[in-house]
């Protein structure tokens, strides 16, 4: 179902995530490559606080949208909460599964729904959503839209599901760069995430199949690179605002 060519293109998408301007909310080059892998007229990264009806940030790649009419916020938030489609992660607690609007609404149901009203306002026919881990009351997701033609396929859902862990890593790395956090090696980040999850040095050594002294040495190097002197400070510095991801 997923070919070797698909896997190579997926690697290209992930690699594009390393190329981002600090002013970008999410790497646009990744979004551009993604729109080629999973054809879509628009790819959007959306950061919001749904309970407060606030959009905190948007990065969008694709067709230049027409200006939204006055009152769009009311339509957007009604479509978000009505029917349990767009607010699926908040209702179910599932921030892992990739979903399509068509999983919940037939074409006829969509036409008569609040989501359909929003789709007509923005000129969209099909949507597939990749939820990213929540951060307190904040919601983060990647959305792909099509204005016409066929719906997203199960193969395309599989590609996005396989890419989702890499999207999370790209987002974490991008937010660290934006916060001015020094780069850590992949091994150092792996170890520090175990620290953040509350594991002791002995537990980390067991999980990583290394000596406990090796864990201590890694931590010393991490402290030096981050300019800190404690486990708590290292976690806070390395994962600013993204530790809950």
Q: Return the number of other C-beta atoms located less than 10 Å from residue 78's C-beta.
A: 16
Q: What is the pLDDT of residue 185?
A: 84
Strands lying side by side in the sheet with 99-100: 54-62, 42-49, 138-146, 126-135, 99-100
Q: How far apart are the C-alpha atoms of 85 and 201, rounded to whole Å? A: 43
Secondary structure letter of residue 65 according to DSSP: P
Q: What is the pLDDT of residue 237?
A: 85
Which of 57, 7, 59, 74 is closest to 37 using CA atoms?
A: 7
Confidence category of residue 52, pLDDT binned at 50, 70, 90: very high
* Res 118 pLDDT > 60: yes
**For the segment 171-185, what is each residue's pLDDT rounded down to a tens digit?**
988 888 877 777 788
Q: What is the pLDDT of residue 62?
A: 92
Does the pTM surpass 0.85? The reply is no
Long-range pairs, 120-124, Cβ under 8 A, ≥24: 121/68, 121/69, 121/72, 121/75, 122/65, 122/68, 123/65, 123/66, 123/147, 124/42
Q: How far apart are the C-alpha atoms of 204 and 220, rounded to whole Å? A: 15
């Amino acid at each position: 179902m997923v070919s070797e060519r698909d896997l190579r293109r997926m690697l290209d998408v992930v690699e594009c995530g390393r190329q981002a301007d600090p002013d970008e909310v999410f790497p646009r080059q990744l979004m551009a490559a993604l729109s080629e892998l999973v054809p879509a007229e628009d790819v959007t990264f959306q950061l919001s606080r749904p309970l407060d009806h606030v959009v905190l940030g948007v990065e969008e790649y694709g067709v230049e949208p027409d200006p939204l009419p006055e009152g769009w916020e009311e339509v957007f938030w009604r479509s978000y909460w009505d029917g349990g489609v767009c607010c699926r992660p908040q209702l179910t607690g599932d921030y892992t599964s990739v979903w399509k609007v068509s999983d919940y609404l037939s074409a006829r149901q969509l036409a008569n729904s609040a989501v359909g009203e929003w789709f007509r306002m923005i000129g969209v026919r099909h949507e597939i959503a990749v939820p990213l881990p929540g951060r307190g009351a904040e919601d983060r997701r990647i959305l792909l839209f099509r204005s016409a033609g066929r719906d997203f396929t199960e193969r395309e859902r599989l590609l996005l599901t396989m890419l989702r862990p890499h999207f999370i890593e790209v987002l974490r790395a991008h937010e660290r760069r934006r916060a001015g956090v020094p780069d850590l090696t992949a091994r150092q980040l792996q170890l520090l995430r175990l620290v953040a999850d509350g594991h002791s040095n002995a537990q980390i050594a067991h999980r990583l199949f290394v000596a406990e002294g090796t864990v201590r040495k890694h931590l010393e190097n991490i402290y030096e690179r981050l300019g800190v002197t404690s486990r708590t400070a290292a976690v806070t510095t390395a994962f600013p605002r993204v530790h809950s991801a």
